[in-house]
């Protein structure tokens, strides 16, 4: 006998977790689509050279790679961005630009499995490719905002509370440029990205020692990263700090346009805030960057992040493809919902249960269930004519809301008994009126 | 520069194919759910011993297998049945039985890529585990019927036409039993399974030569496999052919109950027919078996197949787990729809396009788009204030149905111009009445 087990870092999803997961995916797809993003899909396996081209040493080490039947070096994709770059270059002639796509897919990384990190996880990306227009940056933040509103993350007591933090890479780059150290962007970014983990002093040390920038410049960088206040206050402070620098001025102007457009659409201004401390380590971002935090669970990190890049697919094509996108952290959100008590222990996709207990009435039960389904009401029919008590216990465990019970007496009178499984109350109902009743009682 | 390409046997999905694919998946999920089937998911990678345990030599050869970072022998799943068996055994204590699950997932097989066979494809399985009740067999055929009706496969001229063919393994087994050759089931099945490819004579030869069964028995097997007529006629003929055999009698009774239950629910009797010639090579089926063919495209083979098995997870647990299930051939269906001219060249998930051409009115455009979205109307807004003609060309290529055009004059009067991109006609509409207009004009 073989022991049934999953690999370390991999997991099964049981119905009670898959159901809210599918709801999240459906919501994300609906929001992405409502802005015109269209779905694509790419293979799990790619030529190794495609995956290694773009990755860092870190991702290369984590790659699941092997030699396939045809002696090709292949690897399992570790994100959806590299496949998008390859896809866009390969299908350039078939696509229309701006190309707005979303992509839900599993990715694999052989990383150390600690603290809720998995080796297989789902990414939910959306990107607008082929335009430098700030309109795309604005839409991206609107999508994130709609997404979080629709997902409606809340603990049982509070309402949806989240913050989208916005920054623009040109602000920091402008500051470095102003201090004559534009070439130090990468080490400064790397240092700054750790500020919440290691503290200000360590970042100072890393900048002045390892990166070797002057104390004046390091002080300016730290001053920048510590700016707080309303969006207006931060913009004013930035103008002072960066006055006279063209690149910095562009960044400030973009942040200003972005926040003002978002405000004009009626999105909650308190939720979309400029935060010049966010750096997002990845050095390919060149303009707007986003992170999204849940007020009630800041510790889990950003649940939706992204930014603008100058050239998506430079490794595969000479076509310059600027773009902007973000990625929803589905697994983080599921964890958050679990922690906030938002997930109920329900393992059924339908709320209606029909026990089977007059054995020779099978056709009548099936016909009644079929009538309910035709009205759009899902119903699970128990397949064996067991004792009613046992069947109701099963219904209870699975989390059904109502049982629709029909015995010989009910059949004779074309009635059914509707039992509310939460309260235990029962009412009698005409069979041909049951659908109406359930359509009203249906949980949303 | 790296050549952007996909591996042989793998493919990308562009929006115009992904959109109908997602519609099919949504439909299948809705139908499965309406019977109480709940979603699960399992990893792409499994321990190699799990995958090799159940597979045949054929699948073992096609397995994508390698050694991972932790020096474990692993493989990519080649179907969703083996993972289901492992899953059910592993989570036995957490599950409630009968356990009804559906699972959509990619599987990988390194097989020769000819005639539309891919090395990565999607499976859409549903199974009822833990009951021997024929009710589950009946529900399975009702699910297949609902599925094909909802998917509504039709050429532009005809209506949905498909046939679900039903057989019961006990009928053939009973016949072999009656002839005293119950031990020859597997070679007879293998021979019979090829009858449509190689013809009657070759099957006769294989049975009498290779399998070594008597000519009387071989004649009876062929006679059985050639029975045609209405369900009633076939049942009568079977009773004669199998009279006195208990197992065969069971099979006939199950077929009779199944067809009569399906009829009583109101499913079209002409679509659900007994066909004793279908064998489904897999020898683990023990009762009802199903295949589904499209009347207009019989050549593509079965688009939804399955059957009943006695014990799902015998390799992993001592728990006996009888069950029944079927699998929708998503990729075959997509090919069928393509061949029948059902797929339109549309690469947008929304039907509404809004050009951007008064540059300083960005906030007003965004506000209007946001109002439409709040009414449930998706709209794509072009991100750059280019020439209207260019934007409309883009809209045309993507397959939008309407453009909602707002110039300075329209803004001044709170109007918009609604252009039907199919007919070229335009009408003026008040901005605050546009949502009503589109809600009515929305294609289904």
DSSP letter string, A334-354: HHHHHHTT-------S-SEEE
| Rounded Cα distance, A353 and A392, in Å | 9
| Rounded Cα distance, A427 and A423, in Å | 12
- A315 compared with A58, residue with greater pLDDT: A315
User: What is the pLDDT at residue A342?
Assistant: 80
Is A120 touching B (CB cutoff 8 A)?
yes
Which tokens hold the place of A282?
């990845």
Q: Which of B86, B136, B265 sits opposite A367 (nearest CB)?
A: B265
User: What is the pLDDT at residue B268?
Assistant: 80
Is B254 touching A (CB cutoff 8 A)?
no
- pLDDT tens digits along B302-356: 999 999 999 999 999 999 999 999 999 998 888 888 888 888 889 999 999 999 9
| Rounded Cα distance, A266 and B360, in Å | 18
Matching residue, tokens 């070096």: A73
Is A91 touching B (CB cutoff 8 A)?
yes
Question: Residue B279: helix, strand or coil by DSSP?
Answer: coil
Burial (CB count within 10 angstroms: exposed 0-12, middle 13-18, buried 19+), residue B207: buried
| Rounded Cα distance, B37 and B165, in Å | 23
8 A C-beta contact, residue A247 and residue A129: no
A146 with B40: Cβ contact below 8 A: no
Comparing CA positions, the residue from A350, A343, A323, A413 lying closest to residue A126 is A323
A74 with B7: Cβ contact below 8 A: yes
| Rounded Cα distance, A354 and A364, in Å | 12
Comparing CA positions, the residue from B315, B326, B379, B320 lying closest to residue B353 is B379
Say yes or no to pLDDT of A156 above 60.
no
Which tokens hold the place of B180?
């005293």
A128 band by pLDDT with thresholds 50, 70 and 90: very high
| Rounded Cα distance, A336 and A155, in Å | 9
Say yes or no to pLDDT of A281 above 70.
no
| Rounded Cα distance, B110 and B119, in Å | 5
- B393 compared with B279, residue with greater pLDDT: B393
Is A150 touching B (CB cutoff 8 A)?
no
User: What is the pLDDT at residue A99?
Assistant: 97
pLDDT (average), residues A81-101:
96
Q: At what angle do helices B215-225 and B169-178 cross, to 10 degrees?
A: 160
Is B93 touching A (CB cutoff 8 A)?
no
A366 with B47: Cβ contact below 8 A: no
Chain B residues in contact with A34 (beta carbon < 8 A): 350, 373, 377-379
- Sheet bearing B323-328, strands edge to edge: B38-39, B99-108, B120-129, B323-328, B304-309, B285-294, B162-168, B272-274
Q: What is the largest CA-CA distance in chain B?
A: 91
| Rounded Cα distance, B51 and B47, in Å | 7
Question: Residue B91: helix, strand or coil by DSSP?
Answer: coil
Strands (E), A207-322: 272-274, 285-294, 304-309
255-274 in B: which are within 8 Å (CB) of A? Answer: 260-261, 264-266
B36 with A266: Cβ contact below 8 A: no
- Percent of chain A with pLDDT strictly greater than 70: 95
User: What is the pLDDT at residue B336?
Assistant: 85
Q: Which of A64, A347, A377 sits opposite B68 (nearest CB)?
A: A64
Comparing CA positions, the residue from A439, A251, A427, A255 lying closest to residue A351 is A439
Which tokens hold the place of A384?
């064996």
- pLDDT tens digits along B170-218: 999 999 999 999 888 888 888 888 887 888 999 999 999 988 899 999 9
User: What is the pLDDT at residue B46?
Assistant: 97
B4 with A378: Cβ contact below 8 A: no
User: What is the pLDDT at residue B399?
Assistant: 94
Q: At what angle do helices A185-192 and A215-225 cross, to 10 degrees?
A: 50
Q: Which of B33, B139, B381 sits opposite A349 (nearest CB)?
A: B33
User: What is the pLDDT at residue B190?
Assistant: 83
Say yes or no to pLDDT of A159 above 60.
no
Hey, how many other C-beta atoms are within 10 angstroms of the C-beta on A31? 25
183-242 in B: which are within 8 Å (CB) of A? Answer: none
- Answering whether pTM is above 0.80, one says yes
Burial (CB count within 10 angstroms: exposed 0-12, middle 13-18, buried 19+), residue B108: buried
| Rounded Cα distance, B44 and A108, in Å | 9
The alpha carbon of residue B359 is apart from the nearest alpha carbon of chain A, in Å, by: 11
Prediction ipTM score: 0.93
User: What is the pLDDT at residue A90?
Assistant: 98
B18 with A34: Cβ contact below 8 A: no
Hey, how many other C-beta atoms are within 10 angstroms of the C-beta on B244? 8
Is B359 touching A (CB cutoff 8 A)?
no
- pLDDT tens digits along B98-145: 999 999 999 999 987 666 678 999 999 999 999 999 999 999 999 999
A2 with B316: Cβ contact below 8 A: yes
State the sign of the Cα–Cα–Cα–Cα dihedral A305, A310, A313, A316: negative
8 A C-beta contact, residue B222 and residue B188: no
- pLDDT tens digits along A404-421: 999 999 999 999 999 999
| Rounded Cα distance, B29 and B124, in Å | 9
Question: Residue B293: helix, strand or coil by DSSP?
Answer: strand
Burial (CB count within 10 angstroms: exposed 0-12, middle 13-18, buried 19+), residue B424: exposed
Chain A residues in contact with B108 (beta carbon < 8 A): 44-45
| Rounded Cα distance, B230 and B202, in Å | 28
Which spans in A245-380 are helix H? Answer: 246-264, 330-339, 362-374
Average pLDDT, chain B: 91
Q: Cis omega (within 30 of 0) on the bond before B20?
A: no
| Rounded Cα distance, B42 and A13, in Å | 6
| Rounded Cα distance, A299 and A301, in Å | 5
8 A C-beta contact, residue A41 and residue B18: yes
- pLDDT tens digits along B11-60: 999 999 999 999 999 999 999 999 999 999 999 999 999 998 665 677 78
285-324 in B: which are within 8 Å (CB) of A? Answer: 313, 315-318
Is B138 touching A (CB cutoff 8 A)?
yes
Q: Give the burial string for B62-75 (b: 16+ CB within 10 Å, else e).
A: bbbbbebbeeeebb
Q: Which of B74, B90, B383 sits opposite A98 (nearest CB)?
A: B383
Angle at A306 between CA B4 and CA B398, to 5 degrees: 55
| Rounded Cα distance, A305 and B108, in Å | 31
User: What is the pLDDT at residue B281?
Assistant: 63
pLDDT (average), residues A416-433:
96
Which residue, among B8, B32, B38, would best test binding to A if mutated, counting the most A CBs under 10 Å from its CB? B38
CB contacts < 8 Å between A and B, how many? 296
Q: Categorise residue B394: left if φ over 0, alpha if ψ from -120 to 50, beta otherwise.
A: alpha
Q: Which domains does chain B have, with CATH numbers?
A: 15-339 (3.30.930.10), 352-441 (3.40.50.800)
Chain A residues in contact with B107 (beta carbon < 8 A): none
Is A152 touching B (CB cutoff 8 A)?
no
B47 with A5: Cβ contact below 8 A: yes
Question: Residue B286: helix, strand or coil by DSSP?
Answer: strand
Is A5 touching B (CB cutoff 8 A)?
yes
Hey, how many other C-beta atoms are within 10 angstroms of the C-beta on A387? 10
Which tokens hold the place of B353?
């396009």
Those residues with Cβ within 8 angstroms of residue A152's Cβ, 6 or more apart along the chain or in another chain: A160
Say yes or no to pLDDT of A364 above 70.
yes
User: What is the pLDDT at residue A232?
Assistant: 94
User: What is the pLDDT at residue B56?
Assistant: 67
Is B357 touching A (CB cutoff 8 A)?
no
Is A38 touching B (CB cutoff 8 A)?
yes
Torsion, Cα B233 B237 B243 B246, to 10 degrees, reads -60
User: What is the pLDDT at residue B125?
Assistant: 98
A189 band by pLDDT with thresholds 50, 70 and 90: confident
Those residues with Cβ within 8 angstroms of residue A63's Cβ, 6 or more apart along the chain or in another chain: A48, A51, A52, A55, A75, A76, A78, A109, A110
State the sign of the Cα–Cα–Cα–Cα dihedral A374, A376, A377, A382: positive
Is A66 touching B (CB cutoff 8 A)?
yes
8 A C-beta contact, residue A193 and residue A279: yes
8 A C-beta contact, residue B119 and residue B110: yes
8 A C-beta contact, residue A366 and residue B261: yes
User: What is the pLDDT at residue A341?
Assistant: 82
Angle at B145 between CA B34 and CA B30, to 5 degrees: 25
Say yes or no to pLDDT of B246 above 90.
yes
A2 with B96: Cβ contact below 8 A: no
Those residues with Cβ within 8 angstroms of residue B153's Cβ, 6 or more apart along the chain or in another chain: B160, B161, B162, B294, B296, B333, B336, B337, B340, B342
Is B8 touching A (CB cutoff 8 A)?
yes
Which residue, among B34, B68, B350, would best test binding to A if mutated, counting the most A CBs under 10 Å from its CB? B34
8 A C-beta contact, residue A403 and residue A434: no
Say yes or no to pLDDT of A267 above 90.
no
User: What is the pLDDT at residue A331?
Assistant: 86
Hey, how many other C-beta atoms are within 10 angstroms of the C-beta on A363? 16
Chain A residues in contact with B40 (beta carbon < 8 A): 12-15, 18
| Rounded Cα distance, A393 and B439, in Å | 44
Comparing CA positions, the residue from A360, A373, A349 lying closest to residue A438 is A373
Those residues with Cβ within 8 angstroms of residue B112's Cβ, 6 or more apart along the chain or in another chain: none
């Amino acid at each position: 006998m073989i022991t049934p087990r999953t690999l370390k870092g991999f997991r099964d999803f049981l119905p009670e977790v898959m159901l809210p997961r599918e709801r999240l995916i459906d919501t994300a797809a609906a929001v992405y689509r409502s802005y015109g993003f269209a779905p694509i899909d790419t293979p799990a396996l790619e030529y190794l050279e495609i995956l290694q081209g773009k990755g860092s040493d870190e991702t290369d080490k984590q790659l699941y790679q092997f030699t396939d039947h045809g002696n090709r070096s292949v690897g399992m994709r570790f994100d959806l961005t590299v496949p998008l770059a390859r896809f866009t270059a390969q299908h350039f002639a078939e696509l229309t630009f701006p190309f707005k796509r979303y992509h839900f897919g599993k990715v694999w990384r052989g990383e150390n499995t600690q603290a809720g990190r998995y080796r297989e996880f789902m990414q939910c990306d959306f990107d607008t490719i082929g335009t430098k227009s700030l309109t795309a940056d604005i839409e991206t933040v609107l999508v994130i905002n709609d997404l979080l509103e629709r997902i409606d993350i809340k603990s049982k007591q509070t309402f949806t509370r989240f913050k989208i933090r916005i920054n623009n890479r040109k602000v920091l780059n402008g500051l470095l440029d102003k201090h004559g150290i534009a070439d130090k962007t990468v080490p400064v970014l790397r240092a700054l990205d750790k500020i919440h983990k290691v503290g200000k002093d360590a970042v100072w040390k890393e900048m002045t020692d390892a990166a070797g920038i002057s104390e004046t410049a390091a002080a300016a960088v730290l001053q920048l990263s510590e700016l707080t206040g309303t969006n207006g206050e931060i913009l004013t402070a930035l103008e002072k700090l960066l006055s006279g620098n063209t690149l910095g001025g562009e960044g400030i102007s973009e942040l200003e346009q972005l926040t003002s457009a978002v405000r004009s659409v009626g999105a909650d201004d308190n939720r979309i805030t400029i935060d010049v401390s966010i750096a997002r380590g990845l050095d390919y971002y060149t303009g707007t960057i986003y992170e999204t935090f849940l007020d009630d669970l800041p510790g889990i990190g950003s649940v939706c992040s992204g930014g603008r890049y100058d050239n998506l697919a430079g490794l595969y094509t000479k076509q310059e493809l600027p773009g902007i996108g973000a990625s929803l952290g589905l697994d983080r959100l599921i964890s958050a919902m679990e922690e906030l008590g938002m997930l109920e222990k329900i393992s059924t996709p339908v709320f209606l249960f029909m026990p089977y207990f007059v054995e020779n009435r099978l056709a009548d039960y099936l016909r009644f269930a079929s009538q309910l389904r035709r009205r759009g009401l899902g119903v699970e029919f128990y397949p064996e004519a067991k004792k009613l008590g046992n069947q109701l216990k099963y219904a209870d465990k699975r989390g059904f809301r109502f049982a629709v019970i029909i015995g010989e007496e009910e059949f004779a009178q074309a009635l059914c008994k509707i039992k509310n499984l939460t309260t235990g109350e029962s009412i009698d109902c005409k069979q041909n009126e049951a659908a109406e009743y359930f359509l009203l009682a249906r949980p949303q």
